[in-house]
Structure 1
Amino acid sequence: MVQRVMITAGGSGIGLAIAKAFIESGARVHICDVDDQVVEKAAQDQPGLVATRVDVANENAVDRWFDRALEDLGGLDVLVNNAGTKGPTAYVEDVKLGDWQACIGVCLDAQFLCARRAVPVMKKQGSGSIINISSTAGLYGYGLRTPYAAAKWAVIGFTKSLAIELGPYGVRANAICPGSVDGVRMDRVARAEAESRNVPVEVVHQEYVQSQSIKRFVKPEEIADMCVFLSSPASRMVSGQAIAVDGHTETFHIGN
């Protein structure tokens, strides 16, 4: 059976790695991303990939994307809610409400909007896998990143609640909690924290690595591998889980 897959923020980084992994497995894949150039490049570089520009925090945009993708795919076997934003890097008293809401909108509201469209399709066919990307910040908290951490904790609660609702229909829901993932996005996070703390960016990078048992950043492909596993028959009794792919976080990083 050829899997039908939809991935948010699939044009670069973790999302693109996930898209590539599913394409390599033989799946039909639709992605969206908010960046026009990223969408165009992903479609050009990955034969068979259907890419659309979508702001996943916008209800109407999400609905239009699902209308087109579901018509093309004829169903949906896997939804990967990958879209996220780092949000502001600041102490809570310095966070503006608009910045808080924008972070929650992309990291949490978008997962609700997409799951709401995917669930009726999966329930009707009696199968499916929803994978929500959370973070180790959703397991431990995250100093200077309160909006992000709040959203990622909520993702886990949302996922476990989905698993309860969907289990009787043969549909599974799980959350993946990446640690520090190698790439441009983590570089931006480290630079923002270094600036906020007035320390060299190399110090921040080293602190992240030292907080793990496996002393290196996670590769995007390692998150992708877990997504493919959680969509395979090998994980048919895995649901409602928050699975860390982080090299084992011993003491979660908090900057002072």
Structure 2
Amino acid sequence: MSGGTRLDQKVALITGAGSGLGRESALLFAAEGAKVVVTDIVPARVDRVVDEVRAAGGVAVGAKADVREATEMVGAVTLAVDTYGRLDILMCSAGVPEEGFGTLAFEDISVEGFSSMLATNLTGVFLAARAAVPTMKRQRQGTILAVSSMAGFVAYPGFPCYAAAKHGVNGLVKGMSLSLGAYGIRVNALCPAHGMSINFAMPPDAEVLGLSYEQMQPWDTKSSSIPLKLDRPPTLRDNANAALFLVSDESAYMSGVCLPATDGGNLARTSIIFPGDLGGDAGVLPESLATKVKEG
């Protein structure tokens, strides 16, 4: 595995590492010298990622683990410590979408669907962190990174409950940073907007594609609503690079931070849609609106 050392000899446990950003981060962290513990709810995906890391010259072990089960999170931490002697990094990447994936009216979202989504996306972060903290306290050192979302800042249409979960993750991260800082434990959240896995919208047994939503279609900056115009689409690696920074010593004095990775300028915008949103001159107002402005 070629040559980075930013995580040299660190031990990183990643939940939801069988696909998407979790998998991409496992591959990147291992390339940067980390010993990786791959966990996922789908055993076949765990085995595949462990094999991919090892094939590239990295170090990895893996286990099936469900973030909704406290005992399985304790078991994953035990695997890390028993195998490598310590745990330096916990990355909570497991996540599931809103029931109906944005197609349901709010009143048609079931209580069971809401509770199930929270169990993975919010309670799962709590259970994984709760399992890791005793080891990190003994070490007087550790880094916890929760994968949140841009939905932790603003809401996506059709995803009200998902937004609630991710706002909760951001709040949990801030609270943990205050509770755990005295032990040398840092806690941050990564909040992607773009460059996220197409597998998130697919069944758990689907082929792992390793591609973002934006990579699944021809890239055209003119039709993209992202204010930042680049000649390539955002990718999983863009988010994994931000995750790498947040778990490395380069961010040693960052804690309680919810980083809006890959927002591409979206958080800077107003809700009013201007012609420039699709690639023109953002300083040019529609003629009708400009007339109204002049008229006072």
Question: Which of the five TM-score ranges fits, normalised by the shorter chain?
Answer: 0.7 to 0.9
- Give the Cα–Cα distance (whole angstroms) in 2 for the partners of residues 206 and 188 of structure 1: 26
In the TM superposition, 1:179-194 aligns within 5 A as 179-185=193-199, 188=202
**Is the counterpart of residue 124 in structure 1 residue 138 in structure 2?**
yes
Residue by residue over 1:197-255, the C-alpha shift from the partner in whole angstroms, topping out at 9 and shown as x without a partner, is: xxxx98xx9999404434665311122112221122221111110101122214599xx
**Is the counterpart of residue 32 in structure 1 residue 39 in structure 2?**
yes
Equivalent residue number for residue 161 of structure 2 = 147
Equivalent residue number for residue 195 of structure 1 = none
Q: 1:214 to 1:182 in 2, by over 3 A?
A: farther
Q: 1:96 to 1:67 in 2, by over 3 A?
A: same
SS at match of 1:140: coil
Q: 2:241 aligns with which of 222, 225, 249?
A: 225
Deviation of 1:99 (Å): 0.6
- Give the Cα–Cα distance (whole angstroms) in 2 for the partners of residues 237 and 153 of structure 1: 23
Equivalent residue number for residue 57 of structure 1 = 68
Residue by residue over 1:177-197, the C-alpha shift from the partner in whole angstroms, topping out at 9 and shown as x without a partner, is: 0012253236659xxxxxxxx
Q: Residue type matched to 2:16 in 1?
A: A
**Aligned residues, how many?**
240
**Is the counterpart of residue 163 in structure 1 residue 177 in structure 2?**
yes
SS at match of 2:194: coil
Q: Residue type matched to 2:155 in 1?
A: G
Deviation of 1:12 (Å): 1.4
Q: Which runs of 4+ in 1 moved over 6 A?
A: 205-208
| Structure 2: gaps (5+ residues) | 1-7, 204-215, 272-296
Equivalent residue number for residue 85 of structure 1 = 96
**Is the counterpart of residue 23 in structure 1 residue 38 in structure 2?**
no
Q: Which has the higher helix share?
A: 1
Instruction: Please report the RMSD computed on the Cα atoms of aligned residues, expressed in angstroms.
Output: 2.5
Q: Residue type matched to 2:87 in 1?
A: L
Equivalent residue number for residue 96 of structure 1 = 110
Equivalent residue number for residue 67 of structure 1 = 78
Q: 1:214 to 1:123 in 2, by over 3 A?
A: farther
- Give the Cα–Cα distance (whole angstroms) in 2 for the partners of residues 31 and 146 of structure 1: 30
Q: Is the 8 A contact 1:79 1:129 kept in 2?
A: yes
Equivalent residue number for residue 261 of structure 2 = 245
What TM-score do you get using the length of structure 1 for normalisation?
0.85
Instruction: State, as a whole percentage, how many aligned pairs show the same letter.
Output: 29
Q: Which has the larger radius of gyration?
A: 2
SS at match of 2:266: coil
Equivalent residue number for residue 9 of structure 2 = 2
